[in-house]
Amino acid sequence: MHKKTVSDIDVNGKKVLVRVDFNVPLDEHQNITNNTRINAALPTINYLLEHNAAVILMSHLGRPKGEVKPSLSLKPVAKLLEKITGKKVYFVHDCIGDDVKQAAKNLKPGEILLLENTRFHPEEKKNDPKFAKELASLADVFVNEAFGTAHRAHASNVGVAEYLPSTVGFLIEKEIEYLNKALLNPEKPYTAILGGVKVSDKIDLIQKLLEKADSILIGGAMMFTFLKALGFSVGKSLVEEDKIPAALEIMEQAKERCVNLYLPEDTVVAKEMEEDTEFHSVPVDAIPDDMIGLDIGILTVRKYTEIIKPSKTVIWNGPMGMFEISSFSHGTKGIARAVAACSGITIIGGGDSAAAIEKFGFADKVSHISTGGGASLEYLSGKELPGIAVIPDK
């Protein structure tokens, strides 16, 4: 990677402000239900501690809309981080102000301080320079390690870099290294698997993939917009009517560029999007008018598996069906199994796709699971990420 990383600078005895992505999922009792994002930041945190830095961590959590919302406090994260690292984690109830300055000042090399949710201040999302300067005043060095927020230009990941010597951390470095394997010179055959709810979310990505991929496999609800564009009747399945022209255009371009764009042969249909409802598989040209397509069928799984297995590069974004409901999870599970069995580079981008691969137990069988849904989507679409662009080159 051409950006400065944390090992390119001297951190000995310095206060290092690290923007992490501790935007973890919480249940109704503020219990953290998944540690992935905390664990992903550990290599950088441990490196800094081992190199005698005082580590000040900051993050957002959820969408408090610029107000203090106790249910979105990072305090539970401080507790969990303490357990994971086996070190005391100091916590302060704000991210700017005199108390925070004092806590940062008192922090010694080898110690960790976690600041409160940066989005409790409306200035965070506005990338307010005064607020950014306040954050920067806490430290000598800034490290951006929040890949999940890298597609946003906020004060704590972009603004603050104006005022301090800045680098990316090991997680961002790793994310970019893997995503570049798909984006720049993918080893061929290169297969992209696309699903999820909306075509509209993923048009830019598909455009980019048309330049590089050998095969594009479509599943998820977005398949029905493509099928409808081809004149199939899709019953009550989700369709984005206004994206039908875009779907046609994509299929046309795929033909011109000799990219194999595959649509499912069969789909699992039901009358309701619910557990315990009756369901069965039908060919895509026989979807009943009163039914919703909620998964890809077994024939499609077999066909896609044949294409995925010999691929040298695979990128997967978006589940194949409504995998949260077990009746409609088999397509996604089958594709997860195929991706796990592929010996090439396999990359999972997208929050729900990452959740799916973990749920089905294949997380350790893929090359890389991105910690940033939106950020990986934008990066793979060829866009510059402001949180990375702001860091100087080596």
Residues within the interface to Mg ion (CB under 5 A): 351-352
Positive or negative, the Cα torsion across 273, 279, 284, 289? negative
Does the protein bind ligand ADP through residue 322 (CB under 6 A)? yes
The C-alpha atoms of residue 70 and residue 49 are separated, in whole angstroms, by: 29
The C-alpha atoms of residue 125 and residue 348 are separated, in whole angstroms, by: 28
Q: Is 297 labeled as catalytic in the residue annotation?
A: no
Q: Which of 84, 197, 251, 363 binds ligand ADP (CB under 6 A)?
A: 197
Does the protein bind ligand ADP through residue 294 (CB under 6 A)? yes
Indicate which of ligand ADP, Mg ion, none lies near residue 297 (CB less than 5 to 8 Å, by partner kind): none
Catalytic residue (choose from 3, 15, 19, 37)? 37
Q: Which of 148, 293, 344, 386 binds ligand ADP (CB under 6 A)?
A: 293
Stretch that binds ligand ADP, among 5-13, 26-34, 248-256, 348-356 (CB under 6 A): 348-356
Q: Can you give the C-alpha Rg of the chain in angstroms?
A: 23
CB of 373 to ligand ADP, least distance (A): 5
Residues 6+ apart with CB under 8 A from 353: 195, 196, 316, 317, 318, 319
Closest by CA to 103, choosing from 56, 136, 143, is 56
The C-alpha atoms of residue 242 and residue 90 are separated, in whole angstroms, by: 51
Which tokens is 303 given?
A: 């066909």
CB of 355 to Mg ion, least distance (A): 9
Nearer to ligand ADP, 140 or 358 (CB): 358
Catalytic residue (choose from 75, 101, 126, 198)? 198
Q: Which of 94, 214, 265, 324 binds ligand ADP (CB under 6 A)?
A: 324
Stretch that binds ligand ADP, among 47-55, 89-97, 191-199, 249-257 (CB under 6 A): 191-199
377, containing H or E segment: helix 373-380
Report the site for ligand ADP in 372-391 (rule: CB under 6 A).
373
Could you write out the DSSP letters of every residue in 34-103? Answer: --HHHHHHHHHHHHHHHTTPEEEEE---S--TTS--GGG-SHHHHHHHHHHHSS-EEE-S-SSSHHHHHH
Does the protein bind ligand ADP through residue 148 (CB under 6 A)? no
Does the protein bind ligand ADP through residue 186 (CB under 6 A)? no
DSSP at 109: T
Residues forming contacts to ligand ADP in the complex (CB under 6 A) are 195-197, 201, 220-221, 238, 293-294, 317-319, 321-322, 324, 350-353, 373
Residues involved in catalysis:
37, 198, 351, 374
